[in-house]
């Protein structure tokens, strides 16, 4: 992962301020290529997030930004062709609608992300994934005609997912590696399953990846509190032996 120095430290304060956002992308995203993110969901199997390394680092920024906001929320809209040559949207065209939302006390927001991925990231064939203390995460779906899949968590839960994304983005982690989070273990008991996969995408696409726009804000008064303990188990990781 050439965008991270030899010390592997990723450090930034998430903000929509254009200079800071561009600096993040120039350092952590664009050196890895164009970000690509896909969301696939079903009420039975939950949410599968597929991203290339640049997409993982883009999604890390979203997790950190949402975790820092008093009413933090972000929506990913599937790309669509508005008119010839003009694509709008955030995620791959075949994606479901998806979002990220922070829940819990507003005084628990974290305004800075700083993390050094494990070195090595893989030890004896096992991917090292670390959690922040008190991390709480769940996945839910709402709506019927146009289902919206949401990743909800307290600030430390979203930042923990950001830590996992930064680890997946490393060069030493093979394409096809999938991290599976299980309800009642890493996720809240009534959560849908969640999986995040480091994926390879088709290179020739008619749309151009772009930096995220201003996020939507979720009404915090409607958010429910998560009442599960800190995850004590590690998510299941499926790894491929080669690229």
| Per-residue model confidence (pLDDT) at position 169 | 96
In terms of Cα–Cα distance, which of 75, 57, 77 is closest to 66? Answer: 75
Phi and psi at 52, nearest 5°, equal -80, 175
What are the beta bridge partners of residue 40?
48
What's the pLDDT tens digit per position in 139-173? 999 987 789 999 999 999 999 999 999 999 999 99
Query: Which ranges of the chain have pLDDT less than 50?
Result: 1-3, 5, 213-232, 241-243
Domain ranges for the chain, please list them.
10-238
Give the residue among 209, 212, 243 at the shortest CA–CA distance from 33.
209
Helix/strand number for the chain, H first, E second: 3, 15
Q: How far apart are CA 66 and CA 158, in angstroms?
A: 8
pTM, two decimals, is 0.85
Nearest-5° Cα angle at 51, 120 to 75? 125
Distance CA 43, CA 222 (A): 22
- Residue 210: predicted pLDDT: 54
Question: pLDDT tens for residues 171-181?
Answer: 999 999 999 99
Give CA 119 to chain center in angstroms.
21
């Amino acid at each position: 992962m050439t965008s991270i120095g030899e010390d592997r430290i990723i450090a930034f304060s998430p903000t929509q301020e254009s200079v800071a956002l561009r600096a993040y992308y120039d350092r952590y995203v664009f050196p890895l290529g164009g970000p690509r993110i896909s969301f696939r969901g079903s009420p039975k199997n939950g949410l599968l997030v597929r991203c290339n390394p640049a997409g993982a680092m883009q999604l890390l920024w979203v997790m950190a930004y949402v975790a820092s906001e008093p009413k933090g929320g972000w929506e990913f809209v599937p790309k669509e062709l508005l008119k010839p040559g003009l694509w709008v949207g955030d995620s791959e065209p075949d994606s479901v609608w998806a979002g990220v939302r922070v829940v819990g006390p507003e005084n628990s927001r974290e305004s800075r992300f700083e993390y050094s991925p494990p070195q090595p990231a893989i030890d004896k064939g096992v991917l090292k994934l670390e959690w922040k203390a008190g991390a709480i995460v769940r996945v839910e779906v709402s709506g019927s005609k146009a289902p919206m899949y949401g990743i909800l968590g307290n600030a430390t839960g979203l930042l923990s997912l950001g830590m996992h994304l930064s680890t997946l983005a490393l060069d030493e982690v093979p394409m096809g590696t999938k991290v599976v989070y299980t309800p009642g273990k890493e996720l809240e008991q009534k959560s849908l399953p969640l999986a995040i996969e480091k994926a390879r995408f088709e290179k020739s696409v008619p749309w151009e990846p772009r930096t995220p726009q201003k996020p939507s804000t979720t009404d915090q008064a409607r958010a429910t509190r998560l009442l599960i303990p800190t995850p004590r188990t590690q998510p299941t990781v499926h790894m491929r032996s080669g690229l």
